[in-house]
Structure 1
Amino acid sequence: MKLFHQLLVAPAALGLLAPVAANATELNINGVSDYAATGEQVTSITQFSDVYPTDWAYQALSNLIERYGCVAGYPNGTYRGNRAMTRFEAAALLNACLDRVTEVTDELKRLMKEFEKELAILKGRVDGLEARVGELEATQFSTTTKLSGKAEMTIGATSYGGDETDELYDEDGNYLGDTATTFSYRTTLNLNTSFTGKDLLYTRLRTGNFNENAFSGNGYTGKQTQIEASKSSANSLKVDKLWYQFPLGNDFQVFGGPLIENYYMLAATPGVYKHVLKQFKLGGYYGAYGASTSPGFGINWISNRNADYSDPKLKLSANYVSKNGMVSQTRDQFDSDGEKISSGGGFGTENGKGKFLSQIAYGTPSWQVSAAYAYSQKGMTVGGAGTPLGASTKGYSDANQFNLNAYYQPLDSGWIPSISVGWSLSSYNLPDGTADGTRSQTQGWLVGLNWQDAFMRGNRLGFAVGQPQFVTAIKGQGKNDTGYADDGNYAFELYYDFQVTDNITVTPALFYLSRPFGQRTGESGEYGGTGADTFSTLGGLVLTTFKF
């Protein structure tokens, strides 16, 4: 109402205060009297015969008439909008509008008096809400934290085949294979916090109950049958990832945190194949991209990062993580008898179990080629019992690792799939005194295909084949007395993502592993060999994913 008063009174007051532009002989006193004395109140602008929709003030005049009803015309039905206003006419218009304002004010006062108690209650509630909002704003750590989550349920089983499968029993007759059907879950909560709009504090919480089953990485065939959707935490919710990243200039991104893996700090993803088995991750998880959640930091650069998304870009990355980066002592500790009582560590030390990873990539969202190099200290190379690499290499040697990857994905979905290919090489720097027969080199390769909108919009079909990790050289004389490994472990997977709703996906999957123990197939001993010349694993599962 105050704004209306200002708009209404200002021109009228100027008219009353302005010098009289016309002399007495020019002033039509009778016209003023007619204007001021007209008793018919105009209720619609269409009552004026000389006002047209094309007039520049048409809408403003219409609002004054229809909303406030304080505009009068001349008895002959004209408004005479192009005629200069006299002081008498301004006084008449101002008086009519002030009468209407007084009527509205009196009505408001009556309503306020009638609902005085209700208004007081509403005012109290609003004051209380303002206090609560103020308290919340004072105690929250960020106004831009977003929570997203995912619950994944897996039901499935594995079976084993090949020569002399009775070797799955130990000398006491206990069955060593894990072929029972299991039903497990993994739940993930992601907290994405930004303080400036360009930075990110990432916190991931996870829990799961896979434990010792075939899909956890801790079963009889170890990491070869581990699926990506597994987590073994005995139902305990844990902080799984924690890091902070921020831009440096226009094209750099800096990372640092106590719980991060190397590949999260890369500017380019090596492949676009969506996998079920973890060993198909990133175009070959056991090569340069193998990682462990550890303290670390990194930086990446993308040429013209903020330019058109579809333009080809050069991408460079370098990062470092240390598995023992939270350990304060730098060297192993021994007692008086020479027995080791504790392991050393430290960030950037020789006992840190560190990994330095660098990557160069070039491409667009539709295609890309990349190369990576990693130097991994002993204890950081991915391997261990239940993999073709074997535990001895994992624990006692550094490694130089290389990866070459490329992918293509069509812009439009159809029968042409996205194609991801990768090759990896790991060369182990075995220390003096390492026993003959220890693996000194491994390689890996894979081809992964994805069909988007397969058979139905929103669904996906996936197939991959490869040798994620196989031994290509050994120290000294090998099992065939040639110095070369007798390996040949192949892995296959086939799955179909059925999009039930936007937030629910059901994924049936099959996988087959030929010689999952690789070189150790046919050996009996601590590394999990079966004693048979051939050995294979067949697995099937149904994964149901709920996103929220």
Structure 2
Amino acid sequence: MKLFQKLLLAPAALGLLAPVAANAADVNIAGLSQYGTEEQVTSITQFSDVQPTDWAYQALSNLIERYGCVAGYPNGTYRGNRAMTRYEAAALLNACLDRITEVTDELKRLMKEFERELAVLRGRVDGLEARVGELEATQFSTTTKLSGIATFVVGANSFSGTNNRQADKFIPYTPAYNKANYGATTFNYDVRLILDTSFTGKDLLRTVLRAGDFNGTAYFNGLTALETAFQSPAADNVVAINRLFYNFPVGKDFSVTAGAKVRVDDAGMLGMWPSVYPADTVLDFFTYAGAPGAYDLDGLGGGFGATYNNVLGMEGVTLSSNYVSINSSNGNPNAGGLMTDGASSVSVTQLAYTGGKAPLVGGSAWAIAAAYTYSQNNSLFIATPLAFNYGGTGSTNSFGLSGYWVPENTGWIPSVSTGWGTSSFQNGFSGTDSWAKAQSWYVGLQWPDTFVKGNDLGMAVGQAPFITSAGKGDFAAATGVNTPLDSNYMWEWWYKFQVTDNITVTPALYYINNYDGMAGKYNTSNGNYNATNKVFGGLLKTTFKF
């Protein structure tokens, strides 16, 4: 209740308490006259009989200091315990009304002085109300947010090395073959529309529409595949559902994810991603935390997963497990489905720790994660051609150990991401029990705000999965080689220009030694490893985010 209302009600309330038959004889006219003419006090301390312990002390102080409409008696007392007559209440109310009138007149003067500015503000408020009303009328959903990423890539590859290509059933790609099939400069695109919906503020329904035209280019398969390269399963330039999953919390520390189009690294499927090397850079291999066998991002299909944060009360520790079947929509148990013999599936279990401001690394952020992955009927996607042919049937066990470190202060010391992975394949090149083995690793460095604030410099080096032991499969039987010379080395360098808040331009260079691994080297006709195959490439990538 406002002060003015309280003052209006005060006489009525006092009247109820006072005797109805009050008359002039009950009023001390002289005292009332003195009360009304006494100069107003400016501080409650002027009253000798008012103490801070009195129940109405604060209210009386506010009336004096804010409105200055309280007067005392000539002897410096307030007489707060004395009964108040209706005439005295009227005198108090009259004094306060005078002060309110003065305040009102001052406000009127100020309003007139700033009349033009107030009119401008009123117009702006009206305009904002109109725009808000228009947005509310045209929005397609109150629960969904739309964002998008469009990427242009212009680039080419230069293939070099010897051309000793002879008939061989083990993918005898040579520089001449690669140049003839992938040597052109190409201009490609990838576009993603991301619809994020939340019904409770804590859950997430994500739908991603995606289209691209990278099929038939050197950027879609093998070691030169780009992270941004996409091709709809139907055809070029066809928009397809690339993601469709739902994530929701269960209690304080658990979250669950399920979807018909989900990947092992989507929200809630993994507790954390063990790399800060940017995913949106150049070569796809460097986005797998060094272990494509353990973090098989090619596994996109129907699946589910759960994450347990702060395991057993240990802050920063996460445990997660998931399952994805690439051909989950196929009703034939011999050719697809969930958890069937024919499912092309991957299941990842990860234990991770994320630290920040830890003394161990001088007050910076760091993390480490160990992952075990069991996959079935699923070849490695980012691998040498020889390694790619393993794992297509039967089972594969993969392990990965990855982590990152970010310095407390950015400068010449970069963030460091690194990882190592190994895989054991139950079946060999054409299905013979072999238990072949493959390994991979990488180190990624990033320097933020290089030369200009907002611009980043980065580089990475590593080896994509390559066969280290062929076991007893057909390859070993045909060649007499159990440990093939399948290794490769990959480098990439890039610099990202932050043109605007929504546009980045990234020129990049990369080099791959022994691009086709042993598949390009070995020649069954003479048994010699006499072919070499190298790739030097460059591209310009422009990314628009909206």
Q: Deviation digits for residues 260-305 of structure 1, max 9, x if unmatched?
A: 1112211021222224211111322532111321100011112269
Match of 1:393 among 366, 390, 393: 390
SS in 1 for 2:483: coil
CA distance in 2, matches of 1:284, 1:535: 23
- In the other structure, the counterpart of 1:449 is 445
- In the other structure, the counterpart of 2:111 is none
- In the other structure, the counterpart of 2:28 is 28
Q: Deviation digits for residues 354-379 of structure 1, max 9, x if unmatched?
A: 1111111224142222211111111x
- In the other structure, the counterpart of 2:511 is 512
CA distance in 2, matches of 1:235, 1:247: 36
How many residues get paired? 477
Q: Deviation digits for residues 219-258 of structure 1, max 9, x if unmatched?
A: xxx3211111222243333321111112222222111111
Cα 1:72–1:419 change in 2 (3 A) is: closer
Whether the 8 Å CA contact 2:379–2:389 is kept in 1: the answer is no
Match of 1:353 among 330, 344, 349: 344
Whether the 8 Å CA contact 1:270–1:282 is kept in 2: the answer is no
CA distance in 1, matches of 2:100, 2:276: 69
Match of 1:330 among 333, 336, 343: 333
SS in 2 for 1:10: helix
Pairwise CA RMSD of aligned residues? 4.3
CA distance in 1, matches of 2:409, 2:388: 45
Whether the 8 Å CA contact 1:354–1:377 is kept in 2: the answer is yes
Query: Matches of residues 287-366 of structure 1 in structure 2 within 5 Å?
Result: 287-291=293-297, 292-303=299-310, 313-331=316-334, 344-365=335-356, 366=365
Match of 2:419 among 400, 418, 422: 422
State the AA in 2 paired with 1:283.
Answer: A
- In the other structure, the counterpart of 2:534 is 536
SS in 2 for 1:376: strand
- In the other structure, the counterpart of 1:159 is 158
Whether the 8 Å CA contact 2:440–2:463 is kept in 1: the answer is yes
- In the other structure, the counterpart of 2:244 is 242
CA distance in 2, matches of 1:542, 1:439: 41
CA distance in 1, matches of 2:204, 2:464: 33
Identity score, percent: 39
State the AA in 2 paired with 1:356.
Answer: S
Cα 1:312–1:248 change in 2 (3 A) is: closer
Match of 1:273 among 271, 277, 300: 277
Whether the 8 Å CA contact 1:383–1:389 is kept in 2: the answer is no
CA distance in 2, matches of 1:5, 1:370: 67
CA distance in 1, matches of 2:45, 2:329: 78
State the AA in 1 paired with 2:6.
Answer: L
Cα 1:418–1:479 change in 2 (3 A) is: farther
By how many angstroms is 1:73 displaced? 7.8
SS in 2 for 1:7: helix
Whether the 8 Å CA contact 1:494–1:510 is kept in 2: the answer is yes
State the AA in 1 paired with 2:28.
Answer: N
Whether the 8 Å CA contact 1:478–1:485 is kept in 2: the answer is no
Whether the 8 Å CA contact 2:384–2:486 is kept in 1: the answer is no
Whether the 8 Å CA contact 1:389–1:442 is kept in 2: the answer is no
Whether the 8 Å CA contact 2:311–2:319 is kept in 1: the answer is no
Gaps of 5+ in 1: 39-46, 66-70, 105-124, 332-343, 526-530
CA distance in 1, matches of 2:338, 2:45: 78
SS in 1 for 2:13: helix
Match of 2:263 among 242, 258, 261: 261
- In the other structure, the counterpart of 1:119 is none
Cα 1:468–1:391 change in 2 (3 A) is: closer
State the AA in 1 paired with 2:290.
Answer: G
By how many angstroms is 1:417 displaced? 1.6
CA distance in 2, matches of 1:223, 1:260: 23
CA distance in 2, matches of 1:3, 1:49: 22
SS in 1 for 2:293: coil
- In the other structure, the counterpart of 1:490 is 489
Cα 1:482–1:54 change in 2 (3 A) is: farther
Match of 2:545 among 527, 544, 547: 547
CA distance in 2, matches of 1:478, 1:48: 115
SS in 2 for 1:283: coil
CA distance in 2, matches of 1:418, 1:261: 26
Cα 1:145–1:60 change in 2 (3 A) is: farther
SS in 2 for 1:519: helix
CA distance in 1, matches of 2:464, 2:406: 22
SS in 2 for 1:156: strand
Query: Matches of residues 52-201 of structure 1 in structure 2 within 5 Å?
Result: 52=43, 56=58, 57=60, 59-60=62-63, 85-91=84-90, 143-164=142-163, 176-201=180-205
Whether the 8 Å CA contact 2:311–2:318 is kept in 1: the answer is no
By how many angstroms is 1:464 displaced? 0.8
Cα 1:433–1:283 change in 2 (3 A) is: closer
Gaps of 5+ in 2: 47-57, 105-125, 166-173, 357-364
Which is further off, 450-459 or 412-421? 450-459
- In the other structure, the counterpart of 2:210 is 206
State the AA in 2 paired with 1:397.
Answer: G
Cα 1:370–1:50 change in 2 (3 A) is: closer
Which is further off, 250-259 or 230-239? 230-239
SS in 1 for 2:342: coil
- In the other structure, the counterpart of 2:366 is 367
TM-score normalised by the chain length of structure 2: 0.74
By how many angstroms is 1:512 displaced? 0.6
CA distance in 2, matches of 1:214, 1:165: 21
By how many angstroms is 1:484 displaced? 1.4
State the AA in 2 paired with 1:415.
Answer: W
Whether the 8 Å CA contact 1:419–1:450 is kept in 2: the answer is yes
By how many angstroms is 1:321 displaced? 0.6
Whether the 8 Å CA contact 1:389–1:439 is kept in 2: the answer is no
1:381 aligns with 2:379: yes
State the AA in 2 paired with 1:361.
Answer: A
Match of 2:463 among 440, 450, 467: 467
- In the other structure, the counterpart of 2:290 is 284
CA distance in 1, matches of 2:419, 2:70: 84
Q: Deviation digits for residues 454-488 of structure 1, max 9, x if unmatched?
A: 23332222111111121112235377633211222
CA distance in 1, matches of 2:440, 2:466: 6
Cα 1:355–1:433 change in 2 (3 A) is: closer
